[in-house]
Structure 1
Amino acid sequence: MLKTLKMSNSKMRVQDFKLSDAGSHPNKIPFKCALFAVDQPSDGSPSGADGKLIRISSSVCDQYLQTFVGMALNIDYTAGMADHDPRFKVAVIDKAYRSMDGYAWIDGYIYGKDFPDVVATIRYYNGLAAEYNWSEYQFGASLEMEASVQNAADMENVLDVMEFCGTGAAILFAEAAAYKTTSFAAKNNKSNKEDVEMTPEQIKAMEDGMKLLQESMTSMTASVQSVVTEVVSIKSDLTSMKAASTEAEQKTAEEQAAADLKAANDKTAALEKELADLKAGKTSPTPQEPERKTVSAANLLSKYGKVEESNSSDFSTFCASVDALNLPSGESMVLKMKAKASFGVKEGE
C-alpha cells in the first residue's frame, strides 16, 4: 500500500553543503545536499508513518532515487521555516545519486533572481550556524515521497520502504527535519566573512520583507477565495438563466400545442355539424338540370317554305311532311330526330 510520507519533526546533523553564486544563468543558484541516510532508520517518525521510524535500503534507494529528479523544493515562511508548503516552490532538483559514505544526495538550483529573500535567509542563518555553532539555525532538506512499506523483520517500530516515488522536498531548519544525518546546508562558498554577516538594519529589513510576504500571501488567499465565490455566483446565475430559457421554450411549445388542438377541435366540430345536417336532410337541393332548348316543328319546316306542314301538331304528321319534301335521307333523318326531341317522343314510340 502506498503511503504519503513527509520527513519532519526531528533533528539532523549538518553536512558539508554549499549554496554557490557561481553559474552561467542569472536565475540559477546551485545547491547540493544530503537528503537521507541509507540502510539505517530515520531519527524521527515522518508524517504518514503512524509514529514509526522508516528505513530505506541502498538497493531500494538505487532503484527509485531518480524519481526525485525534476521535483521541486518548497519553503514555508508562514510556519517559521519549520514545515512544508508545497505551493511555495523555490527550487528544483536536477540530479540525484547515492554517495559511497551511505547518503542519498540531490543537486539542483534555487531561482535566485525570483526569490532573493530565500537565498539571503539561507545564507544568513547558515552563516550564524557556522560561525557560532548554532545548529538550530542550520538549514536542512526534508523529503516528500509516496512509499510502499512493511514492518521490518529485525527491528521493532521500524517500517522498511519497499518502493517509493519522490514528489519533492522542503527547505527548513535542521531542527525540524526527519533524518539527523541529512541536511540542506545553505552556506556561501565565498570565504569572506562579510558575505554571511548582516547588520541589524539588514536583519530588520529582511524580517519586514518576510512579514510583507506573509501578508501578501494572506491577501492572495483572500483574493482567490473571492474569485471562487464570484465563479460560484456566476455559475448560479447561468443555471437560473438556463432554467428560465427552458421554461420559456416549454411555455411557447405548450401555447403552440394548445393552438393546434383548438384548430383541430374547431374543424372536428364543423365536420360533425355538417354530418348532422346531412342526416337531418338540411342540405341544399341538388340543382336541376337546365331545360333543354329544342327547335319547334314549325321552325324546322318553315325554312323549306312549307308553312302549312310546319303547323303539324304531332310527330307522325311531321314525319309525313318531311317525307313529302323528298329530302336526302341524311337530312330527312336529322329533321325527324330534332322533331322527335321537340315533340317529346320517347324511345320505342
Structure 2
Amino acid sequence: MFMRKQKRIVNIGGVKIGGDNPVAIQSMCNTDTRDVKATVNQIHELENAGCEIIRVAVPDMVAAKAVADIKKQIHIPLVVDIHFDYRLALECMKNGADKVRINPGNIGDRDRVKQVVEMAKEREIPIRIGVNGGSLERELLQKYGGVTADALVESAMGHVAILDELNFNNVVVSIKISDVPKMLCAYRKFNEISDIPLHIGVTESGTLKGGTVKSAVGIGALLAEGIGDTMRVSLTANPVEEIYAAYDIQKVLGMRKTGAEIVSCPTCGRTQLDLISIANEVEKRAANIDKPIKIAVMGCAVNGPGEAREADIGIAGGKGEGLIFKKGEIIKKVPQDSLVDELMKEIETL
C-alpha cells in the first residue's frame, strides 16, 4: 500500500479522521428521520454491526427538530444531510448534530452561508462538502461538456473557496459518482491539491451484489493508494450490509485487524465433501467473532494445510472426514458431519 498523505485532522463528534487516524466507516439511515423510533432502532442495529458514524436525511424542519431526540438515544456521531435550506442546518446544529453535509454554494447568499459557518465555528461542528455527479452545477456541465473528473474537482474547490473566505477550515470533502474510473480520477486529482480529509465512496453503486463489487473496486483502489479518511459503501440494501462490506474491504487490505477473515479454496475435482456448504456454515458461525483471526476452509486434505499455512486455524476435507490444523500443523482428524462443530470449539480456545 502507498503511504497516506497527511491530512488536517477533523473531529466528528469524538471520531477523529485525517492524520494517522483509521479510515472511519459510516452509513446512512433509510428510515424517515421524522420517525424517531424507527431511526433510532436502525442506528442501534448499525452500531452493533460496527458503524462508526451515521448520517440521516433532513428534508424539512420536522426532521431537523427530530435530530434532538435521535441524538439523545444513540452512541455514535450523527451527521445531517441538508440540501438548499440553510435554516435546516442551523436547527440541526442547535439540536446536537455532529457534522453537517451541505454545499455552501447551494444554500443561498453569503449571509446565509455565514450564519451556518458562524454556528459551526461556535460549536466546533465540521461541514462536509458533498459533490455528486448527479447534481453538478449547470455552468460546469457546459464548460466541460458533461460530468468529468475535472468538473467534479472544480465544483468541490469552488465550495471550499466559499468557506475559506469565511476562515472556516473544519471541512471534509466527498466527490461521488457512480462511474468508478471517473470517481477514481476525481479523488486522485483532489488529493494532490488539498489537505482536506476525504470521505470516499461510489454513489448509487447498486444492489447488494453488484454494488459491493463496484464499491470494492473503487474504494479499495483509493485505500490501497493511501487516499481516504472516512468511507461509505452505498448499497440498495439494508444499511447494515454497507457496514459488513466496508469492514471486509478494509480487512482485505490489512487495515482492520478485528473479526474473522475466511479464506477458502474454489474446489476442484479432488474435493470429496460438500465444501461449499461447509464454507458457508463456517462464515455464518464466525460472523460474530470479534477477535482478529484467519480461518481457512480447504477442500483437499493433501494440499490444504500447506496452502493455508498462514491461517490461524482451518479445516481440510477428505472423503467423509476432515483435518483440523493450526498454522499448517494438523492437530486432529474428525468425521465430516462434526467438522464445523470441532472447528468452532478449537477457535474458542485460541
Decide: shared fold, TM above 0.5. Answer: no
TM-score by length of 1: 0.18
TM-score, structure 2 length as denominator? 0.18
Q: Larger Rg: 1 or 2?
A: 1
- Greater RCO between the two (CA within 8 Å, min separation 6)? 1
